[in-house]
Chains A and B, each alone.
Chain A
Amino acid sequence: MTTVQDIQAFLTNSAVGVLEVSREDVTPTTPLVDIGMTSFYAVLLCGMIEDEYEIEVEPLLMFECRTIAEVSEEVLEVIKRQK
């Protein structure tokens, strides 16, 4: 079973990778816009989430949720719904 912690770890790694920020700057409660989230990176990150968990998520999610913690909660909900 996937947990919120798993998703948080995956998202943190992915965000550090694509946004080119240092790991210290990314905590579960850092506002995503503060680390450079734009519509482009939203699409890219959502693509990574979709591949990792084999679900469908809308890039708008990244703007409706403010932090990695919030996105992770939402992704877990989607996993439960779609699996």
Chain B
Amino acid sequence: MFKRVVDFEEANALLRRDGMQVPGLLAYLEQLQRHNVSGLDELVRFTRLAPFFQEGEQLRQLRDVYKDLLDVILNDWSEYIKDTIEKLVDNLDECAEFDLVEELSLKVFDSLLKPTLGLMPADSASFNADTIRLQELVQPYRSLRELKAINQKIKRAIEAVEDTVAAGIVRERTALGHLLRNRAWPERQVDKISIVIILYAATAPLAQTFTNIVAKRLQESRDRTVALSDEEIAKGAAQSYLHRVCKDSAKDSAYNGTYLFDIQAIERGGCPAFPFGHGRHFCVGFGLSRFILKYMVQQFFTKFPTAKILDIKHNENNKIAYEISRLVIRTT
């Protein structure tokens, strides 16, 4: 039913084909609506605003906005990000044992990313539950009941942010503040809020990738205090697949069909070739991710050069990313 690609040369040639597109989630949802399925409106709106599911002019327009938001974060927030990382690492208990995932990796969402994005929902925990695993939920075989549940989550998340906008607590220098005040497109406030929520949902692999990199360093017996290399980032990158559908204009093209490009398996020179994607859908968060990962890894190993792994658990249920769900560490 689909082809799993593991070879670099093959992947490279296939990904360059004109007919190779991201999955047509929008068309899929609209087809459901034409069959009188209701309760998908918010999900449809999200899909229109998510670069993951768009091609052509809409993709170009969206990426322009997303890249602008990331520029705002990198330009205006880098000192804040460094300070916050230092505080988070300082707060880790020096002589005890702790689960790195809970105590550090997952903290990047509330402490680092939300403030820079301008997302300050009153109930932070349920906002996270509604948004951070959105990508994982949007798979083709999800039942209608699940799709409708996702629709509700999106609705709740948007309302939570609308409340903060109405209360006037979204600062101008944040990604959302910038989008609301300085960008004409998209026009509607609800669409602007949606874009920032989508951006937040897209950051999910950052925490996973950080944990993976630390786990790998702890398992290998080499110098832990050296700066983080791009190769190490590539090897720790969490995403499992690039998902594409080939729709060559020739209907009988032998290439037409569904593809999963296996990010972990497709290597070049002993290193994953597309850890942050490829071509026109290349990850817009790469620069920010690299900045955060380098500083966090450096700070962590400066404070805990002799840390050891006591327990490590991998989440088997996560089909779209390599995720360590628990990494218990002893620091001395």
By a beta-carbon cutoff of 8 Å, the part of chain A in contact with chain B is 18, 39-40, 42-44, 46-47, 50, 56-60
The 8 Å CB contact of B143, one of A18, A40, A47, is A47
By a beta-carbon cutoff of 8 Å, the part of chain B in contact with chain A is 28, 31-32, 35, 37, 140-145, 147
A47 and B141 within 8 A (CB)? no
**B33: shortest Cβ distance to chain A, in Å?**
11
* Contacts across chains A and B counted by CB atoms under 8 Å: 36
The 8 Å CB contact of A44, one of B140, B144, B145, is B144
Q: Which residue of B lies closest to A48 (CB)?
A: B144
Q: Which residue of B lies closest to A39 (CB)?
A: B140
Chain A residues with CB under 8 A of B141: 39, 42-43, 58-60
Q: Which residue of A lies closest to B31 (CB)?
A: A40
Chain A residues with CB under 8 A of B37: 44, 47
**A48: shortest Cβ distance to chain B, in Å?**
9
**B37: shortest Cβ distance to chain A, in Å?**
7
A43 and B142 within 8 A (CB)? yes
Q: Which residue of B lies closest to A57 (CB)?
A: B143
Chain A residues with CB under 8 A of B142: 43, 59
A18 to B32, CA, bound (A): 11
What are 20 pairs between A and B in contact, CB < 8 Å?
A18-B35, A40-B28, A40-B31, A40-B32, A43-B141, A43-B142, A43-B143, A43-B144, A43-B147, A44-B32, A46-B143, A47-B37, A47-B144, A50-B143, A50-B144, A56-B145, A58-B141, A59-B141, A59-B142, A59-B143
Given A18-B35, A44-B35; A50-B145 close (CB under 8 Å): yes
Chain A residues with CB under 8 A of B143: 43, 46-47, 50, 56-59
A26 to B52, CA, bound (A): 38
B28 and A47 within 8 A (CB)? no
Considering the complex of A and B, which 7 residue pairs feature the smallest CB-CB distances, nearest first?
A47-B144, A59-B141, A39-B140, A46-B143, A60-B141, A59-B143, A50-B145
Q: Which of B28, B140, B141 has the most CB of A within 10 A?
A: B141
